[in-house]
A and B are shown apart, each in its own frame.
Chain A
Amino acid sequence: MKLVTAIIKPFKLEDVKVALEGLGVHGLTVSEASGYGRQKGHTEVYRGAEYTVDLVPKVRLEVVVDDDAAPGVVEAIVAAAQTGKIGDGKVWVSNVETIVRVRTGERGLEAL
């Protein structure tokens, strides 16, 4: 099984959710995140005072899927979250050893 983690722009969350539902992925963990990548911080002027925005607000989403499904999920996220501009985010995939559904104790694929 794979854990797919994506950092995306907040306003793209709805699009990504719709895309994943289309793939039959129903469970999803979403959290508020902030950070920066190559774009670094940028400088803004607010009421005359200059200040640096070093952390940009993002949404982090995590989903565990079967090995075979992972490439499709990654593609769907990238397609849905892309604006083509800087700061669109990242998606990465990592291995998951096992998974347990707390309510029933089911393990592995059955717990997905």
Chain B
Amino acid sequence: MEPRVTSSAYAAAREELARRPGLNGSGRRAALTSITDAWLAEAFSAAITSVTDPFCLVAVGGYGRGELTMGSDLDLLLLHKASGTEASHVADALWYPVWDSGVKLDHSVRMVSEARRLASDDIKVVLGLLDARVIAGDGALAEQLQAAVLSDWRAMADRRLPALREMVEDRRQRQGEASQLLEPDIKESYGGLRDAVILKGIAASWVTDVPHQGWADSVDFLLDVRDSLHRITGKSSDRLVMQEQAAVAEDLVGVPDPDALLRAVYESARNIAYASDVTWHRVDRLERDRRKVSFRPIKRRTPSRLPLAEGVVMQDGEAVLALEAKPGRDEGLLLRAAAAAAQSGIPLAPHTADRLVAETADPEVPWSRDVRESFVSLLGAGAAMVGVWEALDQRGAISRLIPGWDVIRSAPQRNALHRFTVDRHLVETAVHAGSFTRNVERPDLLLVGSLLHDIGKARGGDHSVVGEGIARELAERMGFDDNDVEVIVTLVRHHLLLADTATRRDLEDPAVIAEVAERLGEVEVLDLLHELTVADSLATGPTVCTEWRFGLINDLVDRVRAVMAGRPLPQPPELTEHQAVALAQSGVWVLMDVKDHTCVVTVAAPDRIGLLALVAGVLSLNKLNVLAARVMTVDDRAVQEWTVRPSFGEPPSVEQLSGDIRRAIEGTYDVAERLARRDSDYAVSPNIEHPDPVVVISSGLSGTSTVVEVRAHDAPGLLYRVASAVASADAMILGAKVSTLGSDAVDVFFVTDRQGRQLSQDHQAALRTTVLAALR
């Protein structure tokens, strides 16, 4: 016969267990569960000695899973088939000893039908019952209940999950993300233990697949942290407050200090949060499909595949690989797919991300223009980028692209000003910078500078100085040219310069202003640094985003700008070698030079209003994306050099392209009509919100031409629309510099009126209105 486990014996065993050395977290949880089970089984058998009806004592929730800690409540359910009085008699006999022992009790007494009904009303009850475990008594009762609850859950889950989703979202708002907070709640913050329980619940519902890998160990680690926290504080709070972090770190094996503890908690929570994100995205998708089906019950759903980029299509609301994609032979595919997903505001399908990371070779160093543009386009996608970035980072792809990223990954910032870990802060800064891209001439440098500005953190020393060297290596690796590398390095080195100077130095002192001006050198860099400073503040937290602070920074920037004496106007491009050759030809002349995946197309033709738009339109109809263009008019001949890339598949033949251009100029090929038809043929792919386009018009000093700068989100046919608008506003384009930087287009036109003079004020206003209307 087993020895009797009295309440005092149980209390003594708990005490002993709390102090027993050498036990790891799961060992302690198992031991505590087992002595608690034995004690309750004893109390149960004493309580039912005089009854004949079947009773069953069931552990639910965390106790059901065997996750008891010293601070946990005992979550118990007494199942019965008896009358109310008999049941309450047994319950009293059972609960009183537990209450007397001082252990917190969360109890209920139900018949099977009652418990089942409650579960159908309250989703938390379902989640608790899914983990039910029999402690003592008639197991048939528990089996009956569990089978009923599980089948109800499976039958109704698709209708009940939206409510659960709302609860999760609400909790995330209130409790924050466990992977970011300085004092995360191990259970309730997003990515905490609560989310792991919900994931298991969703898996049990059979509604959708739940990622299996990568988070089971994370749950165990968080349970260990929680155990340790409860044991040290003697309380049941799950918030890992700062003052306990040192003691918890010391208690846990393999965690040298509080920073390592936070980092490990963050990484575990990230794994759980990522599995949750993926799962909820799938649940949402099912929910959408279910609604669609109810409207059109007869039509069978066929998976529609919408092309997003070369080798990437959208299917069921996720970016996946096209059938013909070859990850093993296409080093640009990983970032192209990521950029396409982010720019469409959809996730990268997990299996696609797995395949890309496993099969795509790391891009050759320095990166090709293709790879760099995809990277910038990913960075520029705003908030939609965060999920895609996480999908890559979870699989180690970011560390491969950006060596050294691991040092800052999930690195805690012990600073109350900061909301995020170092790596997430960098990602968030790039997200904010994405909405300021219209304020600068080089959106790509702003985005990359934002992503790298704190890259020197978590290494000791002044992080601006440390970061300078790392940023230089990385910018060179990304294939930026020497000038651009210097700009990025300056941004990283001086990312605190504006804020520090504005709040700590005398802005009325000319020497202070001159010093800042000298360090930054050019107005372009000042503008970039200004936007970076604001984005950095917004990504840091509300304490550094006061009007007071921004006011001082603006004041400083204005003063420095004044010292730098304004911005030099863009200069018309010089003729390239190709263009010089083209200028000597007569009539309409086209040359095409294909190198790798990029083509240089040179066109010479008699100039006339609208010529640039026509050629841009023909290129777009031939599925060529414009990466850059330099256009000049010499006497009455226009020479254009285009750098283009096919958006899908192979480029057209030179015969086809030059034929199309000739016919367009002769007027036998209706560009406008064909573009309109093509646009209406295309299904509209989803799109994220972009900053509004900007048109800046300035009069040149020399009196030769007016400068029109257009900054907008890049889109098929964009240049055709802009150039047509310029033509329809009756302006001659004498020269143009067009560049696509990631997903942003920065186009500069040098224009005159028909008489070859600068545009009048009225003409400028009309031109601006026409161009902006064409961009809407």
Contacts and interface: CB of A to CB of B under 8 A. Distances in A.
A10 interface: yes
B546 interface: yes
B558 A9 contact: no
Interface string A1-21: 000000001110110000000
B548 A44 contact: no
A83 interface: yes
A33 B546 CA distance: 11
Nearest to B502: A10
B505 A11 contact: yes
Contact of A32 (B507, B549, B558): B549
A94 interface: no
B508 A10 contact: no
Contacts of A34: 548, 551
B548 A32 contact: yes
B351 interface: no
A108 interface: no
Interface string B505-548: 11110000000000000000000000000000000000000101
Given A32-B546, A44-B558, A46-B558, A83 B551 contact: no
A46 B508 CA distance: 17
Contacts of A13: 504
B552 interface: yes
A11 B507 contact: yes
A57 B551 contact: yes
Interface of B: prevailing SS = helix
Given A57-B551, A57-B552, A11 B546 contact: no
27 contacts: A9-B506, A10-B503, A10-B504, A10-B552, A11-B503, A11-B504, A11-B505, A11-B506, A11-B507, A13-B504, A14-B504, A32-B546, A32-B548, A32-B549, A33-B548, A34-B548, A34-B551, A44-B558, A46-B558, A53-B555, A57-B548, A57-B551, A57-B552, A57-B555, A83-B506, A83-B508, A85-B508
Interface string A23-50: 0000000001110000000001010000
A33 B551 CA distance: 11
Interface string B694-706: 0000000000000
A33 to B, nearest CB: 8
Nearest to B554: A46
Interface residues on B, range: 10 to 19
Interface string A76-112: 0000000101000000000000000000000000000
A83 B508 CA distance: 10
Contacts of B505: 11
Given A11-B504, A44-B558, 12 more contacts: A9-B506, A11-B505, A13-B504, A14-B504, A32-B548, A32-B549, A34-B548, A34-B551, A53-B555, A57-B548, A57-B551, A85-B508
Interface of A: 9-11, 13-14, 32-34, 44, 46, 53, 57, 83, 85
A32 B555 CA distance: 16
A9 B548 CA distance: 12
A61 to B, nearest CB: 14
A11 B505 CA distance: 5
Contacts of A44: 558
Contacts of A83: 506, 508
Contacts of B548: 32-34, 57
Contacts of A10: 503-504, 552
Nearest to B506: A11
Interface string B489-510: 0000000000000011111100
Contacts of B503: 10-11
Nearest to B547: A34
A53 B559 CA distance: 14
Nearest to B501: A11
A10 B503 CA distance: 6
Contacts of A53: 555
A85 to B, nearest CB: 7
A-B pairs, top 10 by smallest CB distance, nearest first, are A32-B548, A11-B506, A11-B505, A57-B548, A57-B552, A11-B504, A57-B551, A10-B503, A46-B558, A32-B546
Contacts of A11: 503-507
Nearest to A87: B508
B577 to A, nearest CB: 38
In the complex, which of the residues B505, B546, B548, B555 has the most CB atoms of chain A within 10 Å of its own CB atom? B548
In the complex, which of the residues A11, A32, A53 has the most CB atoms of chain B within 10 Å of its own CB atom? A11
Nearest to A31: B548
Contacts of B508: 83, 85
A81 to B, nearest CB: 11
A57 B504 CA distance: 12
A85 B506 CA distance: 11
A13 B182 CA distance: 29
Contacts of B552: 10, 57
A9 B507 CA distance: 10
Interface in B452-509: 503-508
A85 B504 CA distance: 17
Contacts of B507: 11
A57 B553 CA distance: 11
Interface string B545-580: 010110110010010000000000000000000000
Nearest to B562: A45
A59 B678 CA distance: 60
Nearest to A34: B548
B557 to A, nearest CB: 9
A33 B552 CA distance: 12
A40 to B, nearest CB: 16
A33 B555 CA distance: 16
Contacts of A85: 508
A29 B503 CA distance: 17
In the complex, which of the residues A9, A46, A57 has the most CB atoms of chain B within 10 Å of its own CB atom? A57
B711 to A, nearest CB: 15
Contacts of B549: 32
A24 to B, nearest CB: 24
Interface in B318-370: none
Interface in B708-761: none
Contacts of A14: 504
A2 B552 CA distance: 31
B13 to A, nearest CB: 39
Contacts of B551: 34, 57
A53 B552 CA distance: 11
A52 B504 CA distance: 23
Contacts of A46: 558
A85 B558 CA distance: 21
A11 B548 CA distance: 13
Contacts of B504: 10-11, 13-14
A53 to B, nearest CB: 8
Contacts of A32: 546, 548-549
